[in-house]
Structures are given as structure tokens and as C-alpha cells.
Structure 1
Amino acid sequence: MRNMEIENAVTVKVLFFAKSKELAGTRESRINLPRKVAYSQLLNLITKTYNLEGIKNNILLAKNEEVCSDTRDIEVTEFDSIAVIPPLSGG
């Protein structure tokens, strides 16, 4: 018999950069996720958990250094990392 809790959840690393690091108050964290999660669900979870609502509409999420499409589900496995990339200030 399989344990559904362990079967369907994995722990991934969340990396914060620039403004997201400042707002989250940390450079990296860990979060439990289902193996398959909608981009919007993941974005909502991360912004609520780490106090990033103020920049939510400008954040990009990247899995293992590859920017995720906001129209596709993200499949994660143990040891993946999700980067939270805030808007770049420029001029």
C-alpha cells in the first residue's frame, strides 16, 4: 500500500533574488508541493507564503534555471529548485 501524502508531495528549494529576497527576508527556503502544480497556484502560494503580494504581477518563476510558462502546469521532483525572479530595475 502506498502512502498518498508522500507519493504526491515533494520538497523543492525556492530561491529568491533582488526585491523578492528583500521582501521574503531570505535567500532560499524549502516548500512542499504536489508533483504537478498550475503556474498560477504556485505563484499564489509563493507570494502569500513569502510576503511577495506587492510584486506578484511582475514576478517570473523559473524551474531549474528555465523560465516557466504561465499557461502550463509545472511538474516538480525532489531536488528541483524554483527561482523567484522579480522585475529588474533598469534605466
Structure 2
Amino acid sequence: MDIEHNVTVNILFFAKSKELSGIRETTLQLPRKISYKQLLDLIVQKYNLETIKNNILLAKNEVVCEETVDIVISDRDSIAVIPPLSGG
């Protein structure tokens, strides 16, 4: 019998994602393996980020995740929500 193993990760919000979500950091229970799209959809829906969804990058432990590769997560990993940046 397969048992889904969940892990607790830190979710970090920066710039516009921090503004829209209203928080800087939180924790979330996730499965040990999740697709980039599933993770992005979950975070966007749960934290009110729909307006910037198409421009968000996700990074695990400071490494940008590839959209085509499943993300393998361990307890206490950090997932950063990186919105579009502007500069001058």
C-alpha cells in the first residue's frame, strides 16, 4: 500500500508576491515529489498571486526550479516565490 509522505517546507515571498500575499514567510505541507506546475498552481491559489502567476519563478533552496522537472522536496527545504523584478 502506497502512503503519501508529506514534508514541511518554508515558503518565502519576495517583492510583489510578498505584497499580494500579505506575508513574508509561511510553512506548507507538500508531498515529497510534486510537479512545478502543481506547486505553482497551489501557491498561486492559496496566496492570492493570480495576477503575477505567469511571471513567477520558484526556487528550491536558492536554486531556480526547472518547469519541466518534478521537484523532490525534503523537510525544511525553502521554496522562494520570486516575482517579476524591475530595476533601473
Shorter-chain TM band = over 0.9
Match for residue 79 of structure 1 among 72, 76, 79:
76
TM-score by length of 2: 0.95
Matches within 5 A, 1:7-86: 8-86=5-83
Q: Which runs of 5+ in 2 are unaligned?
A: none
- Listed one character per residue, the Cα deviations across residues 19-77 of structure 1 (whole Å, up to 9, x for unaligned) are 00000100001111000000000000000000001000000000000000001000000
The Cα of 1:17 is off from its aligned counterpart by: 0.2
Q: Which runs of 5+ in 1 are unaligned?
A: none
Secondary structure of 1:57's counterpart equals: helix
Q: Percent identity at matched positions? A: 66
CA distance in 1 between counterparts of 2:62 and 2:18 reads 17
Q: CA RMSD in A?
A: 1.5
After TM superposition, what 4+ stretches of structure 1 lie above 2 angstroms from structure 2? 2-5
TM-score by length of 1: 0.92
Higher helix share: 1
The Cα of 1:4 is off from its aligned counterpart by: 2.7
The Cα of 1:3 is off from its aligned counterpart by: 9.2
